[in-house]
With several copies, the nearest count.
Chain A
C-alpha cells in the first residue's frame, strides 16, 4: 500500500481497540448512498521506478532551448546550494510555524527574508509572501484602498503587464473598486504624468515597466502624493540592486516624512525561483510601518523567550483570516514559504555586490542584443528612452512567424506583443539575462538575420 505502513495484524489490533468489526464500519456514519464503488476510470498505481521513467521521458520530450523570453519571468542562474538547502526535509516538510518554539528555523529565516525585502525596496516592513506578483499587486491595490479610506479609484498604467492587470480585475472585482488604465507614450513606452484630476486612492507605478522601459518614478510619485493618493511600486526585485528603491522615489514629503512609494510589490521569482513553467514563484509586499495593520499575509516578529533570549514568532495575526474571519485584510492563508526560503538563501549568496553585478549584466546583454538586432535590415528598436533588461523591437513581418523560425534553430526568441498591444505592430519583447553569453547573442542575431533575409511568406 503506497505510503501506508499498516500490516494486517496491526489493522486488526487497531479495529479491536476501536471496537469496529472492519474498516468499512468506520464509514458507517456516511449515508450509504453517498459511498461509491472503487473508481475504475483512475489509472493503476505506478511504482517509483515506473513514474521515474515516465517523467524522465516527458521532460526529455520538452527539449532544451535557448531562451530570450522575459515578460514577467526571468531566467537567472540559481546557485546549487539554494534548492539543496531548502529541500532539506526540515524546511520542505514543515508547515506554517504555528508552534513557534518548534519552528525557529523557518521563523528566523522569514525574519531575515523580511529584513532583506524591506531593505531592497527601501521600505519599513515586509510580509512573509503572497502567491505571486500578479495577485500580490491585487492585494496591494486592496490594501491601498483600505488605507486611503475615501476613494476606491485606482490608476494602473497600460505599461503594467496585461496579465497582471487582468488578475487585479478578477480579484478586486467585487469590492467596488474602479480600475482606471493609464495610456503610455508611444515614443518612450512609458507613462506620462496623468491629466486625471479626480480623486483616487492609489497609483501603480511599474519599474521597469512591461516593455522594459524605465518610468519617471519620481515625477509620478510626487504627482500621486500631491493628490493624497498612495503609490504602489511594482518592481522587479533583481533590478533593485542598481535601481532606486521605491522607498526613495520622489521628493521627501513636506512634513519631513520620507517620500517614496507607500507600498512595493512584485514578483519574487528572479530571486532564486526557477522558471518552472510559471510556478511556484511568489509575490512580495513591503510597506511603510503606518500601513502594517492593513497588510495581508503573515508577519514574523522577533521577541524574547522565558529566559530573555531572542526568538521568532508569527505576530500581528489579528489582521489574518483565522482570527479576523470576514474582517480580515485578506483571505490568504498558505503562502509561498519554501520559495521565499530559496530567495533568502539566494540573496545571501549574492549579497549586494552580486545582485548589482547580475542586474548590470542583464542590462548590458539586453542592450547588446537589441543593438545587434536593430542593426539588421527589417528590425528597429521601438522605444526611445532607457530600458533595463528587456526591450521591444519592431520587425518587418508578423512576430509569430519569426518566432517559429527561431524555434527551428532551438531559440525561443521573445514574447510576441502583438496580441496584447496590437497598436505596436509587429512588436517583439526580448530579454537577455546574465545567463546569455556573447556567443548566444551572436547565435540569435545570425539566426534572425537568416530568417529575415528570406522572402516573407504570406
Chain B
C-alpha cells in the first residue's frame, strides 16, 4: 500500500482542521524560526480517513482474530471500557487541574488501588508505572532503596531464572545490579541447587514470574522465598502472568515483597499495537515508604495525588504525570464489571482453556515442553522433532498459521525451549475457537509432511509474503524521503 506521503500534493490540506489564519510570528527572533517545511503529508481529510482505515484492515487483532500470543494475555478488551474512559469530561481534564475538579476521576483511581492491593495481597500500590517494565524498574529500585535505607549497601546482584522475560535482567541492569542467571530444571521449576549456589550476602533480590513463562507454576516458591529472605534479599514478582492465578493465589502470600501488574494483560486494557500499557507496582508493608510517586491518597470526596511532601522516602517519579490515566480508568471499569467473583473466574477459565488446548494438541501428536505438568494459563509446544525431520521451523509453522486466520503464538521465547510456540488462549475464547485452532495445527502438521515448501514459504494469503528481516537489519530503512517510493502491493 502507498505511504501517506505518496498521497501528498503540495498545497493540499484538510481544511476543516485548519485554524482560519496564520498569525504573525515576527516578534520572535528570525534565527529561532524554522525555514524548511517538515515532511508531513499534504492531504485531505478523506485521504487520511481512507488511508488509515484501509491500513487498519492489514492487521490481525483480537477483535478480528484469535491471537494466542503467549505471555501477552490477548483477551477481549471490553468496548465499554473504551467508551467510558473516553467520555469528554475525562479526556478534557488537565493533570494539574486541582484535585477538587477531579474527584470523580480520583475516586476511580483510588478504588482501583484498593482492588489491586486486594488481589495481590500487598500493603500498598502505586499506579504510576506506565508498563510492566517500568513497574519492574520501580520494584527493583525500591529493593535497592530498602537495602540502602538499612545501610546494607554491599548487595550487588539480582538473581533471574533463565526463563525470565528480557525486561527482568534489563531492569536489574538499569538499577545498577549484576544479573545472576539460574537454570531451570526438567520440570520447568527453578533449579534449586543452582539457586543455592548463587544466593548469598551479595544477593539484593530475585525476580520471578509465577506461573513462569514456561507455563507452569513454580511449586517450590515457598522454599525459594525463604532462601532469598534468609539471605537478606527481597523477592520481586513479575506479574505478567497474574491472569493465571488471579483471585486464587496472592503473590503476597507466596512471600513476594514487590509485584508489578500488567493491566494491559490481566485487566484487559487494549494493547494498541504495542501499547500503552500500565504496570502498577504493589509492595509489602516494609517497602511502602519507597513507592514511586504520585499515589492517590486522601479520603472519599477529598482524594488527591500524594507527592514528595507526603512521601519523602519515595524512589521518586517515573513520569511527568501519574502514569497512563486513561488505561487506569479502563482497568478500573473492567474490574468493576467483573467484581470479585468475576476476577477469580478469569484464572479458572484461562487455565481451563490452556489445559484443554494443551491436551488436544498433545493428543494430536504435538510435543509439549513439559508434558507432565499442568498448564497454567499458557503452555509450550516444541517443534524440534518436526524441525529435525522436515526442516520446518517454529517460525515457518507460525507463518502458516496466519494463512489459516490465526495469529501465531509467541515463537522462540522462552529461549531455552528449542523451536517453541508459547500458546496462551485466554479465558475469553470459546471452545469452538480452540477447536478450530487445533484443526489448523493438525492441518499444518500434515502439510509439513506432504507439502513442506508450502509451509516454508508461508504466508501466502496475507497482504505481503514472507518479509526479509535480514535485509531490514542490514540496510536499515527507517524513514521515508521523497523519491523513495517502492514496489507497492
A301 nearest CB neighbor, chain B only: B472
**Contact at B465–A274, with CB atoms within 8 Å?**
no
Q: Are B134 and A135 in contact (CB under 8 A)?
A: yes
Of A31, A45, A124, A330, most B-chain CB atoms within 10 Å: A45
In the complex, how many angstroms separate the beta carbon of A244 from the nearest chain B beta carbon? 5
**Does A158 belong to the interface (CB within 8 Å)?**
no
Q: Do A328 and B48 touch across chains, with their CB atoms under 8 A apart?
A: no
B149 interface residue, CB < 8 Å from A? no
Q: Does A97 interact with chain B (Cβ within 8 Å)?
A: yes
Pair B340/A307 contact, Cβ less than 8 Å: no
CB atoms of A6 and B349 under 8 A apart: yes
Q: Contact check: which of A9, A56, A124 meets B87 at CB < 8 Å?
A: A56
Q: Considering the chains assembled together, what is the distance between the CA atoms of A364 and B216 in angstroms?
A: 49
Contact: A1 with B342, CB < 8 Å? yes
In Å, the complex CA distance between A345 and B15 comes to 15
**Of the candidates A28, A110, A169, A361, which one forms a contact with B316 in the assembled complex, judged by CB atoms under 8 Å apart?**
A169
Closest to B60 in A: A102
Bound CA–CA A36/B17 (angstroms): 29
Instruction: Write out, one digit per residue, whether chain A residues 300-312 have a CB within 8 A of any chain B CB (1) or not (0).
Output: 1111111111111
Q: Are A112 and B3 in contact (CB under 8 A)?
A: yes
Taking a contact as CB atoms under 8 Å apart, the answer to whether A357 and B22 are in contact is: yes
Q: Does B450 contact A (CB under 8 A)?
A: no
A84 proximal to B (CB < 8 A) = yes
Task: Contact check, A320 vs B69: say whether CB atoms are below 8 A apart.
Answer: no
* Inter-chain contact B174/A309, CB cutoff 8 Å: no
Is A30 touching B245 in the complex (CB atoms < 8 A)? yes
CB distance from A354 to the nearest CB of B (A): 5
Quote the shortest CB–CB distance from A211 to chain B (angstroms): 15
Most B CB contacts (10 A, CB to CB) among A125, A163, A169, A345 go to A163
Task: Give B36-48 as 1s and 0s: 1 = Cβ < 8 Å from A's Cβ atoms.
Answer: 1111111111111
Inter-chain contacts of A92 with B (CB < 8 A): 61, 63, 77, 82, 270, 272
B105: A residues at CB distance < 8 A: 58-59, 62, 277
Q: A320 to B141, Cβ gap below 8 A?
A: no
Given contacts A104-B59, A357-B22, contact A244 B49 (CB under 8 A): no
CA–CA, A85 and B55, complex, Å:
10
> Contact string, A100-124, partner B, CB cutoff 8 A, digits 1/0?
1111111011111011101110001
User: Do the beta carbons of B102 and A163 come within 8 Å of each other?
Assistant: no
Choice from B132, B144, B325 contacting A174 with Cβ under 8 Å: B144
The answer to whether B277 and A104 have CB atoms under 8 Å apart is no
B40 engages A321 (CB within 8 Å): no
Asked whether any CB of chain B lies closer than 8 Å to the CB of A10, the reply is yes
> Shortest CB–CB separation between residue A57 and chain B, in angstroms?
7
A87 to B77, CA, bound (A): 11
B321, B329, B373, B463 — which one has the most chain A CB atoms within 10 A of its CB? B321
Are A106 and B166 in contact, with the CB atoms below 8 A? Answer: no
Q: Does A454 contact B (CB under 8 A)?
A: no
A316 interface residue per 8 A CB criterion: yes
Nearest Cβ in chain A — how far from B264, in angstroms?
A: 7
Interface residues of B in 148-178 (CB under 8 A from A): 165-167, 169-177
Please give me the residue from chain A that is nearest to B410 by CB atom: A98
Q: Is the Cβ of A81 less than 8 Å from the Cβ of B49?
A: yes
Q: Indicate if B451 sits at the interface (CB-CB under 8 A).
A: no
Contact at A80–B83, with CB atoms within 8 Å?
yes
Among A3, A125, A282, A321, the residue within 8 A (CB) of B46 is A3
Given A104-B58, A104-B59, A309-B487, A3 and B27 touching (CB < 8 A)?
Answer: no
Using known A-B contacts A27-B351, A98-B69, determine if residue A309 contacts B465 with beta carbons closer than 8 Å: yes
CB nearest neighbor in B for A108: B55
| B-side contacts of A161, CB under 8 Å | 320
B253 x A132 contact (CB < 8 A): no
Known A94-B271, A348-B4: A280·B77 in contact at CB below 8 Å: no
Contacts of A3 in B (CB 8 A): 15-16, 44-46, 75-76, 78, 268, 337-338, 342, 427-428
The answer, among A20, A69, A109, for a CB contact under 8 Å with B52, is A109
CA distance A35 to B43 in the complex (A): 32
With contacts A31-B219, A279-B321, A332-B133 taken as known, whether A99 is within 8 angstroms of B398 at the C-beta atoms is yes
A276 in complex: contacting residue of B52, B91, B101, B344, CB < 8 Å: B91
B326 within 8 A of A: yes
Contact of B92 with A64 in the complex, beta carbons under 8 Å: yes
Known contacts A18-B359, A275-B91, A337-B276; is-contact A118 B479 (Cβ 8 Å): yes
Binds A, one of B5-13, B194-202, B227-235, B386-394: B5-13
Residue of B nearest to A79 (CB): B17
Would A38 and B340 be within 8 Å (CB), given that A7-B9, A94-B273 are in contact? yes
What's the least CB distance linking A281 to chain B, in Å?
Answer: 8
A133 to B97, CA, bound (A): 19
Contact B317 A170 (CB under 8 A): yes
Partner among A101, A301, A332, A339 whose Cβ is within 8 Å of the Cβ of B477: A301
Smallest CB gap from B480: residue in A: A115
Among the listed stretches A70-78, A195-203, A252-260, which one makes contact with chain B, having 4 or more residues with CB under 8 Å of it?
A70-78
A-facing residues in B85-99 (Cβ within 8 Å): 86-98
Bound-state Cα–Cα, A195 to B323, Å: 37
Q: CB within 8 A of B273: which of A8, A312, A338, A348? A: A338
Stretch at the interface among A46-54, A179-187, A225-233, A376-384: A46-54
B residues less than 8 Å from A443 (CB atoms): none
**B429 contacts chain A at the CB level, 8 A cutoff:** yes
- CB of A102 within 8 A of CB of B25, answer no
Chain A residues with CB under 8 Å of B89's CB are 59-60, 62-64
B193 at the binding interface (Cβ < 8 Å): no
B59: nearest chain-A partner, CB-CB: A105
Whether A292 and B264, one on each chain, are in contact in the complex, defined by CB atoms closer than 8 angstroms, is no
Best-surrounded residue of A71, A73, A171, A240 (most CB of chain B within 10 A): A171
| Chain A, Cβ-Cβ closest to B484 | A302
- Per the bound structure, the CA–CA distance linking A402 and B15 in Å amounts to 39
Q: Are B39 and A350 in contact (CB under 8 A)?
A: no
CB-CB under 8 A from A312, the residues of chain B are: 467
- Report yes or no: A360 in contact with B23, Cβ–Cβ below 8 A: yes
Point out the residues of chain A lying under 8 angstroms from B131, CB to CB: 131, 332-335
A–B Cβ pairs within 8 angstroms, 26 of them? A5-B43, A30-B217, A31-B222, A34-B249, A34-B254, A42-B115, A45-B341, A51-B84, A60-B89, A64-B89, A73-B95, A88-B53, A99-B398, A106-B273, A119-B38, A167-B317, A175-B174, A277-B322, A277-B325, A298-B274, A325-B166, A348-B48, A350-B18, A354-B14, A355-B38, A386-B28
Given contacts A94-B62, A105-B58, A303-B471, 9 further A-B contacts (CB under 8 A): A6-B349, A17-B356, A27-B351, A40-B340, A90-B64, A240-B34, A279-B321, A305-B466, A324-B170
Q: Which 6 A-B pairs have the closest CB atoms?
A: A89-B63, A278-B321, A338-B272, A337-B274, A42-B340, A45-B339
